[in-house]
Structure 1
């Protein structure tokens, strides 16, 4: 298992990745980056934990909206898989933050 460093809201987090998952995790990192500035402003920039909380809320809101109004052609199974992956990334970030 490889270990990569993902940067979220200006902070680096080491994350274990299965072989071949690095491109996908980098893609998720770029999705998080799109909302990181908003999360940092919402948290007042006071703590990484609060920024991650706001980032999680932003993503949960987007996921909730996608579940209520899925684009045509996107199956609920795919949305469930996306939710599972987001939860895994959030858990890994939380675990890494608690070890820092």
Structure 2
């Protein structure tokens, strides 16, 4: 079993994978890292769990849209080196997308909490 060092959202993680899958793991970690950086730019100072949750939701939304439209996912360009965040006026407007995703997550969390209290 191989151990790979990956960086996601500015943090390093050690992850195990099967021998020979190291490059694939680094590639998909790069996709998640790019989305984590998008989420960070869009919403700023949030805790790590919510930050990675938003990144995962952005990826899941892309997969869902591609499946729904019968399309395929295209390989994004490699993430550019980390640079200072642009001024707020120049940042892409992820707010509507994140608000929609946050509403979905909050709804799911409320259902899970209700189910847990009824159990």
TM-score tier (shorter): 0.5 to 0.7
Residues 29-71 of structure 1 deviation map (CA, whole Å, 9 limit, x = unaligned): 2212322222113443332111101001101100110110122
Partner-residue secondary structure (3-state), 1:58: helix
Segments of 4+ moved more than 2 angstroms: 41-46
Partner-residue secondary structure (3-state), 1:45: coil
Greater Cα radius of gyration, structure 1 or 2: 2
Q: Normalized against structure 2, the TM-score is what?
A: 0.54
**What's the Cα RMSD here?**
1.6
| Equivalent residues of 2:6, 2:12 under 8 A apart | yes
Residues 14-37 of structure 1 deviation map (CA, whole Å, 9 limit, x = unaligned): 111100010101110221232222
Aligned length: 72
Could you say which structure has the higher helix fraction?
Answer: 1
- Cα distance in 1 for partners of 2:21, 2:43 equals 30
Which protein has greater RCO, CA pairs closer than 8 Å, 6+ apart?
1
- Cα distance in 1 for partners of 2:69, 2:42 equals 26
1:66 equivalent in structure 2: 66
Gaps of 5+ in 1: 75-100
